Structure 1
Amino acid sequence: MNTPNRYTADIFDTLSKGKFICSNSVEDNSSKLYTAIDENFDELYNYFFAIGFILERGDEYFYFSRNEIKATLDNKIEQAYRWVDVVDFFMSFDNGFAPGFRFTPADVQQQVKVDASLKDKLEIMKRLTGEGSYAERINQLIDKQLVQPGYAELENELTNQYKVVASYNYIKQLIVSIQIQEETAHEILK
């Protein structure tokens, strides 16, 4: 089987690492990959499916999924519950926290200093951030829970400004589905 286009190797390299390819990425290469997938989705889907990967389309982003064993699914569910806290924290920081939103760690730190509820949420997340000053813990949270999984990117190194990218919708949709499933389970138990 021939590869559908010249970007296939780069697409595979990015997505096979568990990363997202987003339409609004600050990286030019990622935007090119997004366009290549969008224009050749069916061909790429079939190509990757043949080698055991499922190319998934989200709202302005792409990612790989695979059939998982139960233990792996349990770990992913546990991680999803951690993301509930992370999303709640950043939505409490600013309810406009969504794809395209720009922020700096200093913005978050300033809000934590004046908002007791946000400060409490940061304390609850010590298991994710470890010990340290507010600045250290906020930086850790941004890096480990937003940047590394691909939900935000450093847009400006001089100002330390980050941009939330389209893949953030993936985690929000996942959280909504968890909450819907929990509500359904509670209704069944009544």
Structure 2
Amino acid sequence: MIKQTAEIFELLSKGGFISSDSTDPHIRQLYNQIDGNLTELYEHYASINFFLESGNEYYYFARRETRAELERKLEIAMRWIDVLDFVKTYDNAFAPGFRFQPSDILVRLKLDVELKEKLGGLKKYTGKEKQDEILEKVLNDLKRDGFIELENEITSTYKVVAAFNYLEELVTCINIPEETQNEIPE
């Protein structure tokens, strides 16, 4: 078994991601370890009911869920969909490799009514009232869950990493049948 099995488990079991383009060289090394030993690691973790899954340049754990857990995850997915909508409204190029500073988003909020409304919609998830506090909470959540990384503390520059593809794939896999697309919910 590879040396980093426990370390990989520690990161992924908390709902994190290991991305190929992480700003942390150690995370990139873990990605390469998984990539080179995927079958062995999959079997090892599956024996304890964790399923090592791969996305577009990232790895994560999946588990068999109860109905209550699925409902909770659907609520979380709805939050991430709203966050994705917000960041794509800020800049449609917001994807792996994209770099940004929170101060740039705050400046855009003063000029872009749609962006301001979408940030306001995130208030319900953050428990914050002020724009800068809502944005800070959203960015901290993105960072905590491994979708962005702080690349430069001095300039507060963040980098979007490959795990962000997971959010985009989440939205892409939502299938709304054509006959219900134009229906108004009751």
- Taking structure 1 as the reference length, the TM-score comes to 0.91
- Equivalent in the alignment of 2:167: 171
- Equivalent in the alignment of 2:153: 157
Instruction: Give % identity.
Output: 44
Indicate if the aligned counterparts of 1:106 and 1:135 stay in contact, CA closer than 8 A: no
* 2:13 matches 1:16: yes
TM-superposed CA distance for 1:29, in Å, is: 1.1
TM-superposed CA distance for 1:183, in Å, is: 2.9
Q: Give the AA of the match of 1:27.
A: D
> What is the correspondence of 1:25-36 to structure 2 with a 5 Å cutoff?
25-36=22-33
- Equivalent in the alignment of 1:94: 91
| Partner Cα distance (1:136, 1:67) in 2 | 35
TM-superposed CA distance for 1:184, in Å, is: 5.8
- Taking structure 2 as the reference length, the TM-score comes to 0.93
- Greater helix content: 1
Structure 2 residue corresponding to 1:183, chosen from 177, 181, 186 = 177
TM-superposed CA distance for 1:156, in Å, is: 0.8
* 2:32 matches 1:38: no
Indicate if the aligned counterparts of 1:152 and 1:168 stay in contact, CA closer than 8 A: yes
Q: Over aligned residues, Cα RMSD in angstroms?
A: 1.5
- Equivalent in the alignment of 2:77: 80
Change in 2 beyond 3 A, CA 1:185/1:32: farther
Indicate if the aligned counterparts of 1:37 and 1:44 stay in contact, CA closer than 8 A: yes
- Equivalent in the alignment of 1:134: 131
Residue by residue, what CA displacement relative to the aligned partner does 1:127-177 show, whole Å, maximum 9, x if unpaired? 123333322221111112x11111111111111111111111111111111
- Equivalent in the alignment of 2:144: 148
Q: Tell me, what secondary structure is at the counterpart of 2:80?
A: helix
TM-superposed CA distance for 1:106, in Å, is: 0.4
Unaligned runs of at least 5 residues, structure 2? none
| Partner Cα distance (1:39, 1:31) in 2 | 12
| Partner Cα distance (2:2, 2:178) in 1 | 44
